[in-house]
Structure 1
C-alpha cells in the first residue's frame, strides 16, 4: 500500500494545519457576488494556468469573484479544503480517494477527510520523468542512485513519484530526494543540480516547454515490465502517451502512465454556489484553451473517486453521480475502489 511506500509526512506545508483543523470546522454560507478561494498548484504546472481560465469563465458568467492561489497542489489542497481556507481546488483523483477514505498516504492514515466532495473530473495527468542527455538514465531502473526531484512536499506529484519508484523496486534509501516546484526542478535540471525530475500534469507543461527551448532534455519511458509493475501495484494509474513533438527535441512518442485531475470542494459549501460555478465552467468550455479537448460534461464523472457534491449532482444529474453510471443511492465501482455516493 502507498502508506507503506511513503513513510515520510508529505504534509510539511500548510496543508498539515488544514487537516489538523478539520475537526470542528463549520464553514460559511456564500451568496452571489462574493469571493471564492480556488487553490491550484505551482505556476509551472497545468493546475495554475487552467484555474485562471476557470476564473475567467466563472467571473464572466456569474457574480462570483475567484481568487486563484498557487499552492503545493493535491495533498496541500485537500488540507485547505478541510480547513475551509479553500472553496474549490484541483487535486488528483487518487489523492482524493486516499483523503476521503483515510488511507494510502501517511498524512491521511486514520485522518479521513470525510467532508471532501467531488465536482468533476477533467483530464489525464501524465507522469513525466525528465532528465538530460548524458546522464545515462534511459529507464526507471536507471534512477537508482540518482538525485531526483520528486515534486513539492504536499503534492500529488511527490506521492506518485514514490509510488512509481517503489513499484519498480527503488526505495527512498536508493536515491537522493529533492523537493521543489516544477519551475524550480527545471532550473535544477538546467544547472545540472539533479539528474531527473518527476513532473505530473496535462501535457504540454509550461515548465518543461520552457526548459526544452534552452536545454536538451530526454523523457524516460515508462513501458514494458516496469509499466506493468506500476499498473499492478496501483489501480489508479492508467496507460498514457506523450506524443512526439510535444516538447522541443523529443520527436518520438513516449509511453508513460497517468492519473486524473479533478475539481474538488467541501461538503458544507452551499449547493447553489457549487451548482453555479460548475455550470459556468461546463457551459463555457469554448472559453478554455488548456486541456479543452478533454473537459466535457460527457466525461465529467469518469474516474470520480469520492462522493459528488449535491450542487454538482444538480448539473450532471442524479443518474450519473459516479463513473460507471451509478445512481445517488447506489454503491458503484469507480476504479479506485468502492465509493458510496451521497
Structure 2
C-alpha cells in the first residue's frame, strides 16, 4: 500500500470516529439549548434575548484565502447593523469541519457546500459520514456556485487533468469540502498516483510559488483572493476540466455542474477556462431558535445590496436553488418555503 493510501485511510478513520461522536450527541435538535461559540472556540450558553439585550452568535467560515471568510465578515457587518445580534466569525477548515461544529453546537451558523450538507444529513456519500448521519443540521440558504479551480504554474507541463499523474498536489485543508471534491475528481478521471499535501488556499499558493507542490485544488467563488495574489507575482495556468474528463466527473458525482471561469479573472489568464462547480450554502443546527434564524436570514437577504462579494448570485429569489437538506423552520418562515 502506498504512503498516500495509508495516510488517507488513517485520516478517514479519524474522521469517522470524530463524526460518530458528534452524531451521537446531535440528536434531532428537539428541545435542545441554544449554544454559541466563545472567543476560544468552545461552546458557551447563548445569551438569550430579553429586554432588548443582544445575543452573540458563532459563525464558522473557512480559510482566510478563500471566499467563505471575507463573505462571512460581510454578513457579520450586515447582521450587526440590522439586528441586536453580534457575530463571531471564525476561520476554519471549511465544510466538513463546519458540519462537526454545527453538530456539537459550537457553531450557530456555518458556510458549507451543498454536497457535503447532503452527505452529512443522510450519512452517505463519503467515508466520514457513512452510517453517521448528522441529524440536527439544517439549511438556511444557498448562495453561489463554488468553482473547482485546479491551479499550477506555467512551465510545469501540467496542461490537463491527466498530467497530474505522479504530481504533488495540494487537495485542500484536511476535513474540507475542497479535499473531498479534489479526491472525487482525481478518482473519477483515474488519477491514483500522486502525492497528497493538505493546506489552506493561502499556504497552497505559497507552496506553488516555492515549487513545493505541482498543483493545487481550490474550491470557491471566483475570484479567489489567494489565486489573485499568486497571479500577481507568478505566471499561473488554470487546468481545465472539460470534455471527457468533465463528463467523467459529473457521472461520478451528481453534485458537479458545468461552470466556466471567465477570461481575465486572474492576471495572465486571458481565455475562459471550463471547469465544474458545487454550491455554497448557509447552514445552521436545529437547536438555534426559529426567531434567531429568521432574524439573521432576513437581515442578510433584505440587505444583499450591501454586499460586495458574489453580488451576481446571492439573492432571496435564488436562495433555495440547489438546497440539499431540510430547511430550518426560521429560514422556512422567511422564504415562505
- 8 Å contact from structure 2 (residues 153, 237) kept in 1: yes
Partner of 2:246: 227
Q: What residue ranges of structure 1 are gaps of 5+ in the alignment?
A: 1-5, 319-342
Shift of 1:258: 0.1
Aligned pairs for 1:51-90 (under 5 A) are 51-90=72-111
Partner of 2:24: 23
Aligned pairs for 1:118-197 (under 5 A) are 118-171=139-192, 174-197=193-216
> Aligned-residue CA RMSD in angstroms?
1.6
Task: Give distance in 1, aligned partners of 2:185 and 2:25.
Answer: 36
Shift of 1:105: 1.3
1:24 is paired with a residue whose SS is helix
- 8 Å contact from structure 2 (residues 103, 137) kept in 1: yes
Shift of 1:21: 3.2
Shift of 1:292: 1.3
Shift of 1:146: 0.2
1:7 to 1:233, Cα distance in 2 relative to 1, 3 A = farther
Shift of 1:268: 1.5
Task: Give distance in 1, aligned partners of 2:174 and 2:291.
Answer: 34
Shift of 1:20: 1.6
Shift of 1:28: 2.0
1:136 is paired with a residue whose SS is coil
Partner of 2:42: none
1:23 is paired with a residue whose SS is helix
Aligned pairs for 1:1-342 (under 5 A) are 7=9, 9-10=11-12, 17=18, 20-25=21-26, 26-28=32-34, 30=46, 31-32=48-49, 33-171=54-192, 174-318=193-337
Task: Give distance in 2, aligned partners of 1:58 and 1:268.
Answer: 20
- 8 Å contact from structure 1 (residues 38, 89) kept in 2: yes
1:52 to 1:132, Cα distance in 2 relative to 1, 3 A = same
1:143 to 1:228, Cα distance in 2 relative to 1, 3 A = same
Task: Give distance in 1, aligned partners of 2:100 and 2:241.
Answer: 31
TM-score by length of 1: 0.88
Judge which range, 20-29 or 59-68, deviates more.
20-29
Partner of 2:4: none
1:34 to 1:176, Cα distance in 2 relative to 1, 3 A = same
1:121 to 1:10, Cα distance in 2 relative to 1, 3 A = farther
2:186 is paired with a residue whose SS is helix
- 8 Å contact from structure 1 (residues 9, 106) kept in 2: no
2:317 is paired with a residue whose SS is helix
- 8 Å contact from structure 2 (residues 58, 107) kept in 1: yes
